[in-house]
Structure 1
Amino acid sequence: MRPTLRQMQYIVAIADTGKFGDAAKLVNVSQPSLSAQIAEMEAALGVVLVERSRQGAMLTRAGEEFVRRARIILKEVEDLKAVAKFGREDLNGRLRLGILPTVGPYLLPHVVRDLHARFPALRLSVREERTIDLDEHLQSGEFDTIISTPDDHQNIGHEPLFTEHLYICAAPEDPLSQEKGPVALFDLKGRSLLTLGQGHKLNSIIQQIADASGAVVSSEYEGTSLDAIRLMAEMGAGVAILPSLYALSEARRDKTLYARPIAHELAQRSISLIWRDTSPLAASLRTLAAPLAKAAAGILAQEGRRLGTSAS
């Protein structure tokens, strides 16, 4: 008997969760059913793949190698399914998109109507994740494509979408909020910079800015969202570093927002539509990139007109 794709999914789920119960929930089956399938596979192969204990489930050496190869097979199967659904440049069916939480809410609402008009048969399934998780789930085949920073992913193809600058936001009474125009790095010396939680690429950029300017990254507060760190900055807890897509979108919605661009080459990041370099969807995804880039350009065209001066 050969292992089935479903059995491979089950043992990969065990590897990811470390517990039979959690793995069963992840793949939407009962725990007894999952356990029975793993036991059946082990019996057929004549090898123990999972060491069971009260603390959970741990892969044996044979299990680790099995899971490594199973991930490759499952990814190839997902690519095979994609070949059947998509033509060279047609976009139809379900496309699984992963996107940075610092980009998704500020880009996608501006492009949904255009995407629907251009690709009426396309159904996007979207999930926001940290950079580190986007990379893992793209390579495992859980995502067909992601919107992220291309320098943080390997073995990929990508289409550039936009480059955005970074802005500072501080409390209204802060001296940084009393001036207009760009902020120089030396203006940030000694300041406490607010960041998101670990695993976000934006954090490493902020750390580089801190190192170059003599600022420090706050160890007292890590925000769960850009809105959270902006709020903390406006309350005087530090200086928020905000990407321009967010800052410009929020400036249009909230006329009280005041932010200033950082005048340094470190204070920018490039965003691309990214896919595995083995993906059969490359031509289709390049077609998808065009409306995404157009929507971003429309937002970023406001740069210099709405921020760097009073937002009112």
Structure 2
Amino acid sequence: MKPTLRQLEYLVAIADSGRFSEAAERLNVAQPSLSTQVADAEAQLGATLFERSRSGAYPTPIGEQVIRRARYILRQMEDLKEIAAHGETGLFGRVRLGVLPTIGPYLLPRCTKLMHSRFPDLRLSINDAATDRLASLLEQGLLDAAVSTLEDHPGCVGVTLFSEKLWIAVEPDAPLASTTRPVTLEELKERGFLTLGLGHRLTKLVQELAYRAGGYVASDYEGTSLDAIRHMAALGAGIAVLPDLYVQCEARRDDSLVFRQIDDPRAGRDISLVWRRQSPIREGLELLAEIMQDAARRVL
């Protein structure tokens, strides 16, 4: 006999939660039943997959390898279901879409009407997360696609939706607010920059920008959102560095700040719709990308 798909789901759930009880609750099964199935899988494989203790359950070295392959097998099964549900080119049913929090609220509302029109049977399940988290979810097969930066998703392919520049936002009394022309890196020397926390591609861009400009990222404040960064800049806490889509859709209505585009070819990023290389709904995602491209073009 071989481990069943259900047993593989149990193994992955235990590895993710670190406890048999939490895995059982997550999967809506009784813990004794889950424990029995895991023990059966271990017997069939002839190996102990978890080290049990009062503090939790931890994969053994062989368990790590088995669980890694279990994730792959389960992902392939999900792809098989997608082929049957969606067909080769259409988008039907639930599609799990990850999106950067610096993009989703400003792009997706402008796509919704046309998406519903072209794909009336499509139900998008949206997961808003930082770049690192999106990469992990996509790799594990927990997302079908993501609106993100392609370079942060090795092994994935995608379609570029748009390229956006970065802007600074400063309070009206700041020296940098005397003009709205593009700002040079030289003008940003020794300035403090405000940005999001770790795990965001935008944070990496701001860190690199600060280094090249001879400035620094303010260590006493990390914004939880672009709005938070903008408000801190209005209070004089530093220079907010904001992406183009957010500035055009939201920030420029704020008359408590002055906005200047950064005059540097590396002060920007390419946003793409990305998916796993072997995705069974690739053609449908390409159609979805066209809708997003059009929405971004109207804004930028």
TM-score normalised by length of structure 2 = 0.95
Aligned residue for 2:294, secondary structure, equals helix
Do the aligned residues in 1 keep the contact of 2:158 with 2:275 (CA within 8 Å)?
yes
Q: Which residue of 2 aligns with 1:274?
A: 274
In 2, Cα distance between equivalents of 1:31 and 1:72: 25
Could you tell me which amino acid in structure 2 is paired with residue 133 of structure 1? Answer: R
Q: 5+ unaligned residues in a row in structure 2: which ranges? A: none
Residue 261 of structure 1 is matched in structure 2 by: 261
Q: What is the correspondence of 1:6-155 to structure 2 with a 5 Å cutoff? A: 6-155=6-155
Q: CA separation of 1:198/1:42 partners in 2, compared to 1, >3 Å: closer, same or farther?
A: same
The 2-side partners of 1:194 and 1:152 are apart by 22
Asked if the contact 2:92–2:123 (Cα under 8 Å) also holds between the matched residues in 1, the reply is yes
Is the 8 Å Cα contact of residues 208 and 266 (structure 1) preserved in structure 2? no
Alpha-carbon contact 1:21-1:31 (below 8 Å) kept: yes
CA distance in 1, matches of 2:182, 2:24: 53
Letter in 2 for 1:39: A
Residues 180-220 of structure 1 show CA distances to partners (whole Å, capped at 9, x for unaligned) of: 11111111111111111111011111111111100101111
Aligned residues: 300
- 1:12 maps to amino acid: V
78-87 or 255-264, larger mean C-alpha shift: 255-264
Percent of pairs with identical residues: 51
Q: How does 1:144-183 map to 2 (within 5 A)?
A: 144-183=144-183
Q: C-alpha displacement at 1:224, in angstroms? A: 0.9
Deviation at 1:42, TM superposition (A): 2.0
Cα distance change of structure 1 residues 139 and 87 upon mapping to structure 2, 3 Å threshold: same
Partners of 2:26 and 2:168 lie apart in 1 by: 40
Aligned pairs for 1:206-217 within 5 A: 206-217=206-217
For structure 1, list consecutive stretches of 5 or more residues without a partner in the other structure: 301-312
Q: CA deviation at 1:252?
A: 6.1
Higher mean displacement: 45-54 or 25-34: 25-34
Q: Is the 8 A contact 1:250 1:257 kept in 2?
A: no
- Counterpart Cα distance in 1 of 2:117 and 2:274: 23
User: What value does the CA root-mean-square deviation take over the aligned residues?
Assistant: 1.6
TM-score (norm 1): 0.91
CA contact (8 A) 2:182 2:260 kept: yes
Q: Which amino acid aligns with 1:36?
A: T
Tell me, in whole angstroms, the C-alpha distance in 2 between the residues paired with 1:146 and 1:62: 32
Q: Which residue of 2 aligns with 1:228?
A: 228
